[in-house]
Structure 1
Amino acid sequence: MAIENGKIGEILRPGSEAEQARQESDIRRSFFDTVRRGLRHIPFMEDVVASYYCALDPRTPAASRGILLAALAYFVLPFDIVPDFILGLGFTDDIAVLWAAFRTVRDNIRPEHYAKARTALGELDD
């Protein structure tokens, strides 16, 4: 099941400051639980986790931060266009949204974000 580009654009539209604060709270609370569930399904998980650290970095430009928060909030929601619990399909919409966000802001994801991502993913494997 493919997700339409227009729908991805809607999802990635940065919200108000209040909305972004709510998204950040939701992301901080359930991000790594969702990462654990998605490890086998999302081939670019290191980029996703680096995007998490980029979104939480106060040095990240506001527009990029808003896009990442929107994408990561979509990722952690248990019920989205294709619910994550549907085997084989559950993460396909998340992959499309995350990849679009990553492509849009990848110049803002710095080496230190990737270093943190590798450390976090290594700890998940332990």
Structure 2
Amino acid sequence: MSQGFSARFSREEMEAIRKSLRDETRFGADFMARLKRVAKHIPFAEDLLAAWFCARDPGTPRRVRLTLLAALGYFVLPTDAIPDIMPLIGFSDDAAVIAAAIAAVAGSIKPEHRERAKAALAGL
């Protein structure tokens, strides 16, 4: 993972992300539970899921997986730069982090990941 991407997080945020990623099963459950709660309220839910499916794909390069998992970890964190309970702007920091991560690895998110994301959203 590049220094530029990780430098956007505080030391405490990076440690919380690392801690949550150590237990991948729990991280996945936390991610899906949080997404189910907010999916209908955020316009970037499909991007979140596509990033998740890309990160879980064994064919995805490690650097890409780590970049996406760090961004998804930020989404899962209960504390972030702008509290998610704030109307309208609460998820803007999460969207910015996800957008930056996706832009950095855009070529790795395949149409299959996007199709799985659409199907999963339809089932929520």
Q: Establish whether TM, by shorter chain, passes 0.5.
A: yes
> 1:83/1:25 Cα in 2 relative to 1: closer, same or farther (>3 Å)?
farther
CA RMSD of aligned residues (A): 2.4
Aligned pair 1:10/2:2, yes or no?
no
Q: Is the 8 A contact 1:41 1:91 kept in 2?
A: no
What is the rounded CA distance, in whole Å, between the counterparts of 1:94 and 1:8 in structure 2? 15
Greater shift, 30-39 or 88-97, is seen at 30-39
Q: For the Cα contact (< 8 Å) 1:38–1:91, is it kept in 2?
A: no
TM-score, normalised by the number of residues in structure 1: 0.76
2:52–2:68 Cα contact (<8 Å) kept:
yes
Percentage of pairs with the same residue: 43
- Runs of 5+ in structure 2 lacking a partner? none
Q: Tell me whether 1:46 sits opposite 2:25 in the alignment.
A: no
Query: Contact (CA 8 Å) 2:64, 2:108: kept in 1 or not?
Result: yes
Amino acid at match of 2:119: T
Deviation per residue, 1:41-100 (Å, 9 max, x gap): 432321221100001111100111010000000001111111212222211110110000
Separation in 1, partners of 2:44, 2:8:
22
For normalisation by structure 2, the TM-score amounts to 0.77
Cα shift at 1:8: 6.8
Q: How many residues are treated as equivalent by the alignment? A: 113
What secondary structure sits across from 1:89 in the alignment?
A: coil
Structure 2: distance between partners of 1:106 and 1:100: 10
SS of equivalent to 2:123: helix
Structure 1 residues not aligned, in runs of 5+? 1-5
Change (3 A) 1:10 1:45: same
